[in-house]
Amino acid sequence: MSNYNKPVLNSYLVSKRGFTLVDLLVIASLIGLLLSLILTSINVIRARGYDTTRKSEMRQLQTALELYHNDHGEYPTTHNVWYGDSLMGGYKTEWVPNLAPKYVSKLPTDPDYTPNACGGWGGTYLYRSNSINYKLIDHCPQTSTITSVSSSNPFYDPSRETWAWQISTPDAVYW
């Protein structure tokens, strides 16, 4: 009888009963790679969401400041000192004096509030005014896409290019 009629069984397939250590390591590394990609995407989405909230709150404050100016002929003053809900801003709850509750229901807090970040200056809104001009910044937000803001962006701060959002009167841009 010839060998051509006998079924040939591969001894490798018959003896293999599970995964080898190399197989498990490859699978674990692929799962880890996929998880890191997903988590990175989630963090970028979170940062963009926080930035959208910051921009919206800053626009609302800008409108409230203009309404205040229309009623009083000047902006709420801090006597040219930075006020904010942070260490270097004096932990002031009324960091834009006399604005809440008449012009805004309450002063906002950064969506990723971290008052002691950046040496006590960061993660909060800060306000400065001499009654003629004002500058409102979100200084050193911890979760943000701020490093990708270009000078054509209306929230671009030329004094703090990579770590602050700003809205100001034209003469206060470089404070």
Contact in structure between 161 and 144 (CB atoms under 8 Å): no
Tell me, yes or no, whether 61 lies in a domain.
Answer: yes
CB 125 within 8 A of CB 138: yes
**48 found inside a domain:** yes
pTM for the model: 0.74
Q: Kindly state whether residue 7 falls inside one of the protein's structural domains.
A: no
Q: Domain limits at 78?
A: 18-172
| Residues 62, 121 contacting (CB under 8 angstroms) | no
pLDDT tens digits along 75-85: 999 999 999 87
8 A C-beta contact, residue 123 and residue 115: yes
In the prediction, which pLDDT does 4 show?
60
Instruction: Give the pLDDT confidence score for residue 9 in this predicted structure.
Output: 55
Q: Is residue 11 part of a domain?
A: no
Domain count for the chain? 1
Query: Of 109, 142, 104, 114, nearest to 125 (Cα)?
Result: 109
